[in-house]
Amino acid sequence: MSDNINEPWGNTVLVEFDEHRIAWVRFNRPDKRNAMNPTLNREMFATLDHLEDDDRCAVVVLTGSDDAFSAGMDLKEYFRETDGKPRSVQHRVRGEGTNWQYRKLLNYAKPTIAMVNGWCFGGAFVPLVSCDLAIASEDATFGLSEVNWGVTPGNLVTRALAETIPTRDAMFYIMTGQHFDGKRASEMRLVNEAVPADQLRARTIELALQLTSLSQWVVRGAKMGFRHSRLMSWEAAEDYLYAKHDQAILFDTDAREQGMTQFLDDKTYRPGLGTYATTAE
Ligand code: COA
């Protein structure tokens, strides 16, 4: 555990803060290729929960220690050791995984970026897809290996794929278990982009800074608006999206006014030319 008893990480999850207010959150079981066991799932939930309310963190980057992002669910601790246990135990263990892997991340208060630095298998696809954005090393290896050892993709992996990549690609990789690299992940839009390994961290910082330069209430409203409105009727979406719009203005009165003034009065800001307004609080 961390030295500070209020900080729930330091064992299977590591957190580092940097001067950009990026919290680098690492799966930290390198000797098990960062496979997610029940302990990690609990620690990760508590960590993410804590960081939502920690001012040292404006954006979360989820990545892995050493050469793996995560080798998926821990086959021994998550599956074999819960086989034969009461259904209630299995239910709790599964819930501890899904609590953070999609439920927490999909609704996360701050921007999240998955930085895929290496092996990414099976269950790891769920937090990968649940992060708002994703960048991979070109040489990272992805795989839905489940069919190779006699099970269907577990957890919400299949649902996560349906959310991101085209049906033909999803069916191919789910049914064959064949591996693919970061470049292919980017082609299929499983990740936003793939970059050479030596540029992965720098590119992630660049993207994170773009997000932190903006009003956090606006970024939050914009991402939640997209996530939720796509499941609504147009009528419900209209009501909800205008409510998010008004909420962002209410919570950060300056951001819109500043952008308008920079564009309409000062003529210092041209979003169409790729410049960014500086509206962060
Ligand atoms: N669950 C449990 N343990 C895992 C694991 C997983 N998903 N992935 C790796 N490990 C463990 C190995 O059992 C091994 O443990 P040991 O040292 O006690 O024997 C250790 O991590 C190192 O793994 P190893 O296979 O020796 O490393 P590698 O670098 O040669 O290969 C992988 C890395 C990721 C290619 C390989 O470990 C692998 O295929 N893992 C399974 C991935 C998978 O199918 N995940 C889907 C689960 S939902």
pLDDT at 280: 52
Least confident span in 6-10, 144-148, 264-268 = 264-268
| Same domain for 230 and 193 | no
Pocket test for ligand 1, best of 33, 36, 75 (most atoms within 8 A of CB): 33
Contact 275, 269 (CB under 8 A): yes
Q: How many angstroms does the Cα of residue 49 sit away from the middle of ligand 1?
A: 28
CA of 145, closest atom in ligand 1: 44
Rg (C-alpha) for the chain, rounded Å, is 20
pLDDT at 275: 61
pLDDT at 278: 55
Tokens of residue 164, six digits = 């991101």
36: closest CA among 69, 61, 85, 10? 69
- pLDDT tens, position by position, 152-204: 998 899 999 999 999 999 999 999 999 999 999 999 999 999 999 999 999 99
Protein residue with its CA nearest to atom 6 in ligand 1:
74
| Same domain for 232 and 167 | no
In the 8-state DSSP scheme, what is residue 34?
Answer: T
- Written as one letter, the residue type at 53 is D
47: closest CA among 76, 23, 20? 23
Task: Say if 111 falls within a structural domain.
Answer: yes
Q: How many angstroms does the Cα of residue 70 sit away from the middle of ligand 1?
A: 9
Average pLDDT over residues 29-33: 98
pLDDT at 212: 94
Contacts of 259 (CB under 8 A, 6+ apart): 269, 277, 279
Q: How many angstroms does the Cα of residue 277 sit away from the middle of ligand 1?
A: 45
| Same domain for 240 and 159 | no
18: closest CA among 57, 65, 62? 57
Domain membership of residue 245 as a residue range: 216-265
Q: Sorting pLDDT into bands at 50, 70 and 90, what band is 254?
A: confident
Distance of CA 182 to the CA centre of its chain: 16
pLDDT at 79: 86
| Same domain for 258 and 148 | no
Task: Say if 270 falls within a structural domain.
Answer: no
| Same domain for 208 and 221 | no
50: closest CA among 130, 92, 135, 110? 110
Is residue 128 predicted with pLDDT exceeding 90?
yes
Task: Say if 8 falls within a structural domain.
Answer: no
Q: Which residues line ligand 1 (CB under 6 A)?
A: 32-33, 35, 71-76, 119, 121-123, 145, 154
Query: How far is 211 from 192, CA to CA, in rounded Å?
Result: 15
pLDDT at 268: 83
CA of 119, closest atom in ligand 1: 34
Protein residue with its CA nearest to atom 26 in ligand 1:
32
Least confident span in 20-24, 79-83, 110-114, 259-263 = 259-263
Q: How many angstroms does the Cα of residue 58 sit away from the middle of ligand 1?
A: 33
Contacts of 218 (CB under 8 A, 6+ apart): 248, 252, 255, 256, 279
> 100 phi and psi, to 5 degrees?
-100, -35
Strand partners, 114: 62, 134
Least confident span in 52-66, 76-90, 110-124, 159-173 = 76-90
Task: Say if 2 falls within a structural domain.
Answer: no
| Same domain for 157 and 172 | yes
The one catalytic residue among 36, 44, 73, 115: 73
Q: What percent of the chain has pLDDT over 70?
A: 95
Please count the structural domains in the chain. 2
pLDDT at 191: 98
The one catalytic residue among 1, 52, 175, 242: 242
Protein residue with its CA nearest to atom 11 in ligand 1:
32
| Same domain for 258 and 245 | yes
Query: How far is 262 from 152, CA to CA, in rounded Å?
Result: 54
**∠ Cα 265 269 272 (to 5°):** 125
Query: How far is 38 from 91, CA to CA, in rounded Å?
Result: 12
| Same domain for 107 and 222 | no
Query: How far is 86 from 72, CA to CA, in rounded Å?
Result: 23
CATH classification at residue 178 = 3.90.226.10
| Same domain for 37 and 114 | yes
68: closest CA among 112, 25, 116, 36? 116
Is residue 274 predicted with pLDDT exceeding 80?
no
| Same domain for 249 and 207 | no
Task: Say if 277 falls within a structural domain.
Answer: no
Bridge-based pairing state of the strands 22-27 and 13-17 = antiparallel
- Written as one letter, the residue type at 119 is W
Query: How far is 23 from 11, CA to CA, in rounded Å?
Result: 16
pLDDT at 175: 96
Distance from the first to the final alpha carbon of the chain? 32
Query: How far is 220 from 231, CA to CA, in rounded Å?
Result: 18
Residue 95 bears catalytic tag: no
Residue 225 bears catalytic tag: no
Q: Sorting pLDDT into bands at 50, 70 and 90, what band is 258?
A: confident
